[in-house]
């Protein structure tokens, strides 16, 4: 059985960000409609990090399995803190058809989910974007958020100012700020993209009508302050986010799942999105296997059409 092997470069060249946004919109609707099969995420903890397993199947898609490791100490030895592999299996025979580098898939699909939430929930006149965190997710959020709103002022804050300056240098609208508080002041959209186990933004810093996205995952702590969660209208990928980690989000464990709307429900008109210009909205991402499946399928289809990658027979 030939298996297509796709490198990081293959994935980056063939995963179109705009196509991904539209495919995720359909994927979130399928998720909320109950058409996606995805068991809860599981994981293995070791001394310096953890490995998560995620799998999913959606109609007219292959079966997808992702293994993603989170080792934040990797930066000291020149490796990304997140590393991933994705395997695709034919939905009719179960035969493996592809193995690809999933590190960029993880980064771009996560940012695309935040961008989709911004397209749905941010005020139409949103022009100021603040990104807190200048790692891979900060970079990918800057790329994806620019596709859904015409931001005129982009502010980047990070634990180290030089990291914020590096990301800001990639966009002429962007500037680095020394503190998260100054970055989010009067911002219309605030993206939290950190590995912090403590809150990086307080409710009092946020202007009325702000849309906040959070993609950080660092149990048992959180980058999101409890008062932000308490005062915001909450949106999630799926109510599975309310399960304890590693399946769900530590911030939401024990809360009422019906207090949140799924993005798919908003897209299908089953739940309202933003209802006033002054309300605070929060999209809390847990990271769902559907997102990996949709993104990997796009990369695979485009790579196959272009004859990219390496064919390997096991």
Among the listed residues 58, 21, 57, 54, the one whose alpha carbon sits nearest the alpha carbon of residue 267? 21
* Mean pLDDT value of segment 109-115: 98
Beta bridge partner(s), residue 72: none
The string of DSSP letters for 18-52 reads HHHHHHHHHHHHHHHTT--B-PPPEEEEETTEEEE
Would you say 207 and 187 are in contact if contact means Cβ atoms under 8 Å apart?
A: yes
CATH 3.40.30.10 is the classification of domain 110-287? no
Closest CA to 11 of 253, 297, 277: 297
Mean pLDDT of the chain: 96
User: Residue 109: is its pLDDT beyond 90?
Assistant: yes
Per-residue pLDDT tens for 8-19?
999 999 999 999
pLDDT of residue 166: 96
pLDDT tens-digit readout, 267-310: 999 999 999 999 999 999 999 999 999 999 999 999 999 999 99
Which fold is adopted by the domain 2-105+290-313? ornithine cyclodeaminase, domain 1 (3.30.1780)
Domain ranges of the chain: 2-105+290-313, 110-287
pLDDT category at 314 given cuts 50, 70, 90 is: confident
Average confidence (pLDDT) over 48-73: 95
């Amino acid at each position: 059985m030939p298996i297509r092997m796709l490198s990081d470069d293959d994935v980056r060249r063939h995963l179109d960000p705009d196509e991904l946004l539209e495919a995720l919109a359909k994927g979130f609707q399928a998720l909320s409609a109950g058409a996606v099969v995805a068991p809860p995420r599981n994981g293995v903890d070791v001394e310096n990090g953890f490995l998560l397993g995620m799998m999913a199947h959606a109609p007219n898609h292959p079966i997808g399995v992702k293994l993603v490791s989170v080792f934040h100490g990797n930066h000291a030895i020149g490796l990304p803190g997140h590393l991933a592999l994705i395997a695709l299996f034919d939905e009719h025979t179960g035969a493996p058809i592809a193995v690809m580098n999933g590190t960029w898939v993880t980064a771009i699909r996560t940012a695309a989910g935040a961008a989709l939430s911004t397209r749905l929930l941010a005020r139409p006149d949103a022009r100021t974007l603040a990104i807190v965190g200048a790692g891979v997710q900060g970079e990918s959020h800057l790329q994806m958020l620019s596709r859904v709103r015409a931001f005129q002022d982009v502010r980047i804050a990070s634990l180290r100012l030089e990291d914020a300056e590096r990301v800001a240098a990639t966009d002429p609208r962007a500037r680095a700020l020394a503190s998260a508080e100054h970055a989010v002041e009067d911002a219309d959209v605030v993206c939290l993209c950190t590995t912090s186990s403590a809150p990086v933004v307080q409710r009092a810093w946020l202007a009325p009508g702000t849309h906040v996205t959070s993609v950080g995952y660092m149990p048992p702590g959180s980058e999101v302050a409890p008062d932000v969660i308490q005062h915001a209208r909450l949106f999630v990928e799926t109510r599975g986010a309310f399960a304890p980690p590693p399946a769900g989000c530590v911030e939401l464990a024990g809360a009422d799942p019906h207090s949140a709307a799924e993005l798919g429900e908003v897209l299908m008109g089953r739940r309202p999105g933003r209802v006033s210009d002054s309300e605070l909205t929060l999209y809390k991402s847990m990271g769902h296997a559907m997102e990996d499946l949709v993104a990997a399928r796009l990369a695979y289809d485009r790579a196959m059409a272009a004859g990219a990658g390496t064919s390997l027979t096991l």
